[in-house]
Amino acid sequence: MQNIDHIEVRGARVHNLKNVNMDIPLGELVGIAGVSGSGKSSLALGVLYAEGSRRYLEALSTYTRRRIAQASKASVDDVRYVPAALALHQRPAVPGVRSTFGTSSELLNSLRLLFSRVGSHMCPHCGKHVPPSLNVAAELPISCPHCGSEFFGPGAESLAFNSEGACPTCSGTGIARTVNRAALVPDESKTIDEGAVVVWGTLMWDLMKQVCGAMGVRTNVPFRELTDAERDIVFNGPAEKKHILYKAKKGENFAELDFTYYNAVRTVENSLAKAKDEKGLRRVAKYLTEGPCPDCAGTRLSLAARQPIVRGINLAQATEMTLEEAVAWVAGVPASLPEEMRPMAKSICESFESTARRLLELGLGYLSLDRAGATLSTGERQRVQLARSVRNRTTGVLYVMDEPSIGLHPANIDGLLGVMRDLIADGNSVVMVDHDTRILRAADYLVEMGPEAGARGGALVAQGSVEEVANDSESIIGPYLSEAARVAARPKTPAEQMFDLGRIHLESSGLHTVKPFAIDIPKGRLIAVTGVSGSGKTTLVLETLIPALTAAAAGQTLPEHVTAIEAEGIRRANLIDATPIGINVRSTVATYCGALDDMRRAYARTDSAKAAGLKMGDFSYNTGSLRCATCDGTGQISLDVQFLPDVDIACPDCRGSRYDTAAEKIRRPEKGAPDDQALSLPHLLALSVDEALPHVADVKKAHKKLQTLHDLGLGYLTLGEATPALSGGEAQRLKLASEMGRGQADAVFVFDEPTIGLHPRDVETLLGVFQRLVEQGATVVVVEHDLDFIANADYVIDMGPQGGKAGGRIVACGTPEEIAANRESITGGYLEI
C-alpha cells in the first residue's frame, strides 16, 4: 500500500499565485513565509483550506449542503492527498453583546451543568436551600427537608443568560441603558422655543415644544429659569393629549391639532424601543448612559439562576473569578459533595479542566469568565478560537492557521507552539502563515513565497528545512532566520535628549485592572507600549491617553478616571487601527486615497471626452454613465446555483473593470509619450500603484498621492482593489496616507499592533514611515509585541508584570537598552539589543 506523506499542489493560480507546483509534508508543522502580499494566504487558505474543506463538504448529502455556506472550487489544476481542513483565520469576528469569555470558550457550559446537577437548590415554597441531590440528573423531584414540599431543580438551560436564566430587566446583557438628562438640555441659557430640549426636533417632532407649552411650561424663558415643577413636566410629565394651534415653519398656515405629550425622557425611550439597526441606535446613544443592570448587578442572570449554591458561592460569583481562580475552585468541588455525587461531579469537573488547560497554556489565565467578548483583544480572541478548535482530539485533520502569533507576547509563543505540537502528536498536520522568526524557526518544514508582493510575487522562492531555507541565497527570510540580518531602520534618540521636545504628563486613578499611575511620555518620539496580554496596554493607551488628549484639546471634562493631563501644543489624537476600510467592493484603493477623483478630472479634460460630451461625473464607476450596466460598477456578479454555494465571478461584460466598453475608447495621452501608448481609465485602474506612477506623472495631485502609497510600502496594491479585502496592516498604512507630508507637531498618532502580517523587511519599511512622522514633529505611540520594532523605538513603556490582576502597573520606562537591562520586565528578557 502506498504511504502518503505529502499534499501535492499542481498549477495553483489563486489571486497572484503563478501556476505554483509544490509538495507539502503531512504530519509536520509547516510554516509559510514571505513578504506582505506575496501569496502566502492565497496558498494556505485559498488552496489548501479551500480544497480540504470543500471536498469534505461535498461528501455530505445535497440536502445538508444546501444549508451550509460552502467555498467555491479553488483556481488550481490539481490538489491530491489533502485531508479534511479546519482554518483559524487572522481576525476572528468581534462577538456580540451577549458573548463572554465563558461562552466563547464554552467553559460556561460545564459550569452551568455543574450548578444544575450538584448545586444546593432553593426551595420555591419555603425559600431555604436543600442539600445537593442526584434527583436533578435523574429528572426526579427534590423533596425539601424543611417544609416537605417537592420541586424540580433547574436544568443547565435554566441557568443560561442567553436563554431561560436571563435577567428580565436587561434581557441577559448585564447592561442597563438610562437616559442622560444632562444631554437632553446641554445649554440651559436657551429657551425651549430656541431648542433647549434638543430631542424635540431630532428624535421627536418639533411641535412638541408647543405641546409642552400647553402643559403649563414657559417656553420663552431660558431653561435655567424654569421652576422645579416646570422642569419636572419637561422630563417626567404625563402622556396627556393637548389641543394646540400649530403654525408651519414655512408659510402662514395654521392647523388645530390634538397631540399627546411626550416628555424629554420618554422621547428618548420611545426612539430606543423603535431603533431597528445600528444607525438608529447611534442616533439615540448620545442621550443614553450605560451602566450595570440594577437588578442583576451586571451578572446577566435572573434571581432564580443565581440561587443554586456550590461550595458556598452562586454561578454569578463563580464567573467573576479569573480562569486560574476558577480552575482551583472547580478542583475542590467533588470533595465538597456527598460520596454518591462525587463520580458525576468529577466527570463534569474534568470536562471543565480539560478545556481550561489549553487556555492556560495559551496564557489566558488572567481573564475572568464574565469578561465581555467584545472587550477581548484580537490576540485573545484568536487564542480562544485556537483552544476551541483543538479541544477535540482529532486525527488526520489539516489545521491551517493564519498568523497565529498575532497579539502574542514573546512569553506566550511557547504555549502556542506546545498546542501545535500536540496537534501533530495526535496525527494531524499544521500549516501556519506567519512572520515571527521565532515561530518559523520551530517549523519542521518551510515554504517561502515571493519574491515581491502583488504581481511581482506569487512564486515559490525557497522550501525545505529551516536550515536549508536560511542558507538559500534566493531566500528573503533566510538572513533573518539565521540572524545574519537584523531589523534596523531609524536613528534612535539618546536617553539624555529624550524629553528635549517636551512631555505629555498623564495621571490616572486606575481603570479595570490598571492601578493608579503617573507617567511622562516624551513628545516628538517613537514610543512602544509593551507587556504580556492583559497587562493593561489597551487600557493605558486607548481608554486613558486618547480620551484624555481628546478631551483636553476640546476643552471638555476629562474622563472620570483621568486625574491630570498636561499636553501643551497637542491638538489632535489620531487612532490608526486595523479595522477593515469600507464595507463593500465599491471602496477601492484609488477611491480611498483620493487619486481616482484627480484621474477622473484628467480624463474629462481629454479631447475625446469633450467630443463625447462627458464630464468628470461620467467617469465614476458608482454613478457615472460609463459604469458597467451589467454589474452596476461592482466588477462582479453573484450566480445562484441552487444547492451549490453562490459563486461571485468577474462580470462577463466588463471583465471586472467596472466600466462599460465606451470607457475603453477614452484614452488620455501622456505628456511626452506616443499617442499609441495612451491608456484608458479602466486599464489604469488595473495597474498596481508602482505600475501606474509613470502613467500619471503629469497629473500632479494623483502622482503625489500614489507616491505616498509607494513610500508606505503599498506600491504592490492594485488601484482597483477593493479595500475591505486588505489585510489589517495594509488598512492601517492606507489610513495613514492622508497624514503624510505635513507638519504634525500638534498631533499624537496611536497605532495598535501595526506589524500584524508584516515580514521583517516590511517592518523596516513601517519604521521608516514612522520616522518620517516623527521628523514632521509627531508623537507616535505604538502598542506592540514585535521585538524588532520595540528595539527600534526611542522610548518603551512596559506594562505588567503579568496579565489581569497580576498586572496593570507600569513596570519599566526608558530606552530599549534600559528595558532589556531591567530584571523586572518580562519583555526586557526577550529583547536583544
- The amino acid at residue 707 is Q
Quick one: pLDDT at residue 282?
A: 73
Query: How far is CA 317 from each of CA 118, 466, 480, rounded to the nearest angstrom?
Result: 16, 49, 49
Give the residue from 480, 385, 399, 488 showing the smallest Cα distance to 440: 480
User: Of 224-238, 263-277, 311-325, 493-507, which gets the smallest average pLDDT?
Assistant: 263-277
Q: Which residue did the predictor score with more confidence, 367 or 736?
A: 367
Give the residue from 538, 565, 563, 566 showing the smallest Cα distance to 808: 538
Q: Report the CATH fold assignment for 589-725.
A: ABC transporter ATPase like fold (1.20.1580)
- For the stretch 377-412, pLDDT in tens is 777 887 888 888 777 678 888 999 888 887 788 888
Neighbours of 811 (CB within 10 A): 21
- For the stretch 593-616, pLDDT in tens is 889 899 999 999 998 889 888 898
Chain centroid to Cα 273, Å, comes to: 28
Q: Are 151 and 126 in contact (CB under 8 A)?
A: no
User: Of 29-33, 201-205, 448-452, 823-827, which gets the smallest average pLDDT?
Assistant: 201-205
Give the residue from 105, 97, 94, 13 showing the smallest Cα distance to 50: 13
Query: How far is CA 764 from each of CA 142, 653, 712, 788, 791, rounded to the nearest angstrom?
Result: 68, 42, 11, 9, 12
61 has a pLDDT exceeding 70: no
- The C-alpha atoms of residue 418 and residue 29 are separated, in whole angstroms, by 11
C-alpha R_g of the chain: 31
Q: Mean pLDDT over residues 805-823, rounded?
A: 92
Quick one: pLDDT at residue 645?
A: 44
164 has a pLDDT exceeding 50: yes
507 has a pLDDT exceeding 90: yes
530 has a pLDDT exceeding 70: yes
Which residues, 6+ apart, have CB-to-CB distance to 303 below 8 Å? 295, 296
Q: Does domain 176-292 have CATH number 1.10.8.280?
A: yes
Chain centroid to Cα 419, Å, comes to: 24
- Coil/strand/helix, residue 47: helix
* Cα–Cα–Cα angle for 440, 446, 449, rounded to 5 degrees: 100
Quick one: pLDDT at residue 278?
A: 55
Q: Report the CATH fold assignment for 101-174+296-362.
A: ABC transporter ATPase like fold (1.20.1580)
Quick one: pLDDT at residue 814?
A: 95
User: Of 508-517, 663-672, 821-830, which gets the smallest average pLDDT?
Assistant: 663-672
**Which pLDDT band, with edges at 50, 70 and 90, does 643 fall under?**
very low
Q: What is the 3-state secondary structure (H, E, C) of 103-151?
A: HHCCHHHHHHHHHHHHCECECCCCCCECCCCCCCCCCCCEECCCCCCEE
DSSP letters, 557-568, are: PPPTTEEEEE-T
Quick one: pLDDT at residue 641?
A: 45
Q: Which residue did the predictor score with more confidence, 243 or 21?
A: 21
Quick one: pLDDT at residue 28?
A: 94
* Percent of the chain scoring above 90 in pLDDT: 38
Q: Which residue did the predictor score with more confidence, 161 or 722?
A: 161
Quick one: pLDDT at residue 36?
A: 76
* Percent of the chain scoring above 70 in pLDDT: 92
Q: Does domain 6-93+376-481 have CATH number 3.10.129.10?
A: no
- For the stretch 408-451, pLDDT in tens is 888 888 888 888 998 899 899 999 999 888 899 999 999 999 88
* Cα–Cα–Cα angle for 792, 452, 40, rounded to 5 degrees: 90
Residue range(s) in the chain whose domain bears CATH number 1.10.8.280: 176-292
Quick one: pLDDT at residue 94?
A: 65
User: Of 352-366, 416-430, 546-560, 643-657, which gets the smallest average pLDDT?
Assistant: 643-657
**Which pLDDT band, with edges at 50, 70 and 90, does 1 fall under?**
very low
- The C-alpha atoms of residue 333 and residue 342 are separated, in whole angstroms, by 9
Neighbours of 683 (CB within 10 A): 16
**Which pLDDT band, with edges at 50, 70 and 90, does 727 fall under?**
low
Q: Mean pLDDT over residues 135-139, rounded?
A: 90
Average pLDDT along the chain? 86
Q: Which residue did the predictor score with more confidence, 55 or 241?
A: 241
- Coil/strand/helix, residue 609: helix
For cell 495594509, what's the residue? Answer: 730
- The C-alpha atoms of residue 120 and residue 165 are separated, in whole angstroms, by 17
Quick one: pLDDT at residue 648?
A: 63
Q: Are 362 and 412 in contact (CB under 8 A)?
A: yes
User: Of 16-20, 236-240, 652-656, which gets the smallest average pLDDT?
Assistant: 652-656
Q: Mean pLDDT over residues 775-783, rounded?
A: 93
Quick one: pLDDT at residue 728?
A: 67
User: Of 117-121, 466-470, 687-691, which gets the smallest average pLDDT?
Assistant: 687-691
Neighbours of 647 (CB within 10 A): 14
User: Of 295-309, 364-378, 454-468, which gets the smallest average pLDDT?
Assistant: 364-378
The structure's pTM equals 0.75
Which residues, 6+ apart, have CB-to-CB distance to 511 below 8 Å? 539, 543, 544, 561
- The C-alpha atoms of residue 434 and residue 480 are separated, in whole angstroms, by 13
- The C-alpha atoms of residue 359 and residue 110 are separated, in whole angstroms, by 15
* Cα–Cα–Cα angle for 673, 678, 684, rounded to 5 degrees: 120
Quick one: pLDDT at residue 482?
A: 87
- Coil/strand/helix, residue 628: coil
For residue 637, list its beta bridge partners: 649
- The C-alpha atoms of residue 281 and residue 260 are separated, in whole angstroms, by 24
Which residues, 6+ apart, have CB-to-CB distance to 569 below 8 Å? 502, 523, 745, 746
339 has a pLDDT exceeding 60: yes
Quick one: pLDDT at residue 642?
A: 43
Q: Which of 42-51, 338-347, 741-750 has the highest mean pLDDT?
A: 338-347
- The C-alpha atoms of residue 355 and residue 139 are separated, in whole angstroms, by 27
Residue range(s) in the chain whose domain bears CATH number 1.20.1580.10: 101-174+296-362, 589-725
Annotate 320-331 with b (16+ C-beta within 10 A) or e (fewer).
bbbbbbbbebbe
Quick one: pLDDT at residue 63?
A: 54
Quick one: pLDDT at residue 302?
A: 94
What CATH code is assigned to 495-579+744-830? 3.40.50.300
- The C-alpha atoms of residue 781 and residue 528 are separated, in whole angstroms, by 6
468 has a pLDDT exceeding 90: yes
Burial class (CB in 10 A: 0-12, 13-18, 19+), 88: buried
- The C-alpha atoms of residue 525 and residue 528 are separated, in whole angstroms, by 10
- For the stretch 537-559, pLDDT in tens is 989 999 999 999 999 988 888 98
- The C-alpha atoms of residue 783 and residue 3 are separated, in whole angstroms, by 48
- The C-alpha atoms of residue 631 and residue 437 are separated, in whole angstroms, by 44
Quick one: pLDDT at residue 789?
A: 92
Annotate 389-402 with b (16+ C-beta within 10 A) or e (fewer).
bbbeebeebbbbbb
Peptide bond into 801 cis (omega under 30): yes
**Which pLDDT band, with edges at 50, 70 and 90, does 31 fall under?**
very high
Nine cell digits for residue 621: 464607476
Give the residue from 421, 411, 422 showing the smallest Cα distance to 366: 411
25 has a pLDDT exceeding 80: yes
Q: Which residue did the predictor score with more confidence, 61 or 687?
A: 687
Q: Which of 20-24, 256-260, 555-559, 667-671 has the highest mean pLDDT?
A: 20-24
Q: What is the 3-state secondary structure (H, E, C) of 10-40?
A: EEECCCCCCCEEEEEECCCEEEEECCCCCCH
Nine cell digits for residue 721: 482593489
Q: Are 506 and 562 in contact (CB under 8 A)?
A: yes
Nine cell digits for residue 31: 510554516
Q: Mean pLDDT over residues 736-740, rounded?
A: 77
